[in-house]
Amino acid sequence: MTDNTSADEASSSSDTPSTDKRDAYEDGDHVAANADEAAANVQETMTASSVMRASIAGVLGHSNQNRDIFDTFDWTRRPTAKQFYALYRTHPFAGPIVDRPAFTTWRDEPIITDKPDEETDFKDDVEKLFRNLDLPSQMERVDRLAGIGRYGLSVFITTDCLDEDGTVDEDRLAEPIDPEQFTADGLDNIVQHKLFSEISVDAIEWGNETHAAEGRWGLPVRYSIDFSSEGDTDKSDSDRTWSVHHSRTVAVPASRRLDHDFFAPPRLEGSFNVLRDILKVLGSVAEMAYRGADKGLAVSHNPNDVDVTSEQFWEQHDEEVQEWFQGLKPIFETTGEVQELGGQIADVSNIFEPQLSALATDTGIPKRVFEGDPAGALASAEEDTQAYFGLIKERRTEYAGPLNARPHIQWFVDNGLITPPSGGWFDIDWETLRVLSEQEQADLEAKRGEALRNISDDPLLDLGRQVVVDYIREGELPDEVETEAEMVADLEDQDAVGANARSVDEITAGYEAAADGGQEVDDD
């Protein structure tokens, strides 16, 4: 165990032992051994302290040479929500970091059940909720908005905060929601569902000890929200800051929370400075390419051949060079030597690759998503996709379900807008995410082709090429073809129509005869 005694205390205790111990250490060798042990303890303590100081300094961005790494590399220590938003809107990689996991997570609607094997009123109401208010799409949107900063907000405008003329009452919006004042039935009480990221929240009124009974101590009680569109400069008269009570909102964290009960680490926080470094590299490459393509010229003149002190000479020289530079002449005349200026464009792939690796490590998104599918990397792509789907499965279970879908649905239950679940609890499940390998896809298409041949001797002729292709690739048949018997009946009808059809030559024969001066043939 490390001795936590300071160096001065250890030195003092070794130099002036207690009276009770003096008699026990009269022997000189014993005293020397005790002094060596104390010195060793002091050295161990100093070493541990140095390690701790070095660790803290590393966190703060300081190296052992007293150099601030963040200042040296022009890194930002604590990025703000506005900086995250600006990066999200403009950076080619920041958008995918926030959006791609959300898009994949909400590719399928969550399956909400209270009794898996029974049809219940709760299930029916959830289906109406999903259909009428398009709640899954809204939850996907607030997922992305939350990922920009530390949290996102769903704000529900309900009938209890409206005046008789349908105008929102500012005072009612700032007060708790009152279901008894609803003026419509069920979901019709939802007038509007608005979504915001952290940058739209100007201030938060936090609960104190007086809100403990409500469970809001240390949590938001009211939000001051700028209702104008984020990122837009034009504002209407209604786009202003409103005070909104927390009971009218659902807060979604950016990720799984750590030490704070409300805020969560932003998704771009760990990658922020890497993303800025990528912009520096991309900008440098563009500048090098521009300068490399637009090389300058150095023209030297021999004073023995021309009068380099003559203003008329230099005016004529500059005119020649400008006509060439502007593309007016393919050549320019000179008596001197011409030397091309400009450097070569450097290969930055070795600089760019570690930064992409850092992004992939921080976000769990494969590099392939950022840089595209390289040729000949199908097997690696399949492995990356399966690993990514594993990440999304965990994200659905640990984040999207409990921190997004559940609080949204529970909000509708708590306010009497949908039927409560049986037993007071509901489960959230998801469809399995899986992508077929190249071999699996080929086997599936072969089986589909065999199924078509069991129905028809010539599927291409009977069904048409597009129907066959769509079924083999996607497993989709026309809606009117639901069973094999119906398919056969449809094919027979199509054959009958085809038997009575006439060719283009037959239909136009009469017109051709009339054009030749003969008698027109009746089509009937």
Neighbours of 101 (CB within 10 A): 24
Confidence of residue 423 (pLDDT cuts 50, 70, 90): confident
Distance CA 149, CA 102 (A): 15
pLDDT reading at 402 higher than 80: yes
The confidence score (pLDDT) of residue 30 equals: 44
Check residue 429 and give left, alpha or beta (phi > 0: left; psi -120 to 50: alpha): beta
In this prediction, residues 176-192 reach a mean pLDDT of: 93
Q: Report the percentage of the chain scoring pLDDT > 70.
A: 68
Which neighbouring-strand residues pair with 192? 157
Which neighbouring-strand residues pair with 424? none
Distance CA 494, CA 463 (A): 9
Greatest mean pLDDT range, 113-122, 125-134, 501-510, 512-521: 125-134
pLDDT digits (tens, 9 = 90+) for 252-287: 999 999 989 999 999 999 889 888 888 888 777 777
pLDDT reading at 476 higher than 90: no
Q: Is 471 helix (H, G, I), strand (E, B) or coil?
A: helix
Greatest mean pLDDT range, 23-32, 33-42, 316-325: 316-325
| DSSP code of residue 490 | H
Question: Encoding tokens for residue 466?
Answer: 């597009």
Neighbours of 67 (CB within 10 A): 10
Higher pLDDT: 509 or 431? It is: 431
The confidence score (pLDDT) of residue 471 equals: 75
Question: Encoding tokens for residue 260?
Answer: 């704070």
**Mean pLDDT of all residues in the chain?**
76
Which neighbouring-strand residues pair with 190? 158
Which residue ranges make up each domain of the chain? 36-78, 79-230+237-273+400-433, 274-348, 438-494
pLDDT reading at 27 higher than 70: no
Angle at 71 between CA 272 and CA 56, to 5 degrees: 85
pTM above 0.85, yes or no: no
pLDDT reading at 36 higher than 80: no
Instruction: Among 146-155, 214-223, 240-249, 455-464, name the one with the lowest average pLDDT.
Output: 455-464
CB 281 within 8 A of CB 318: no
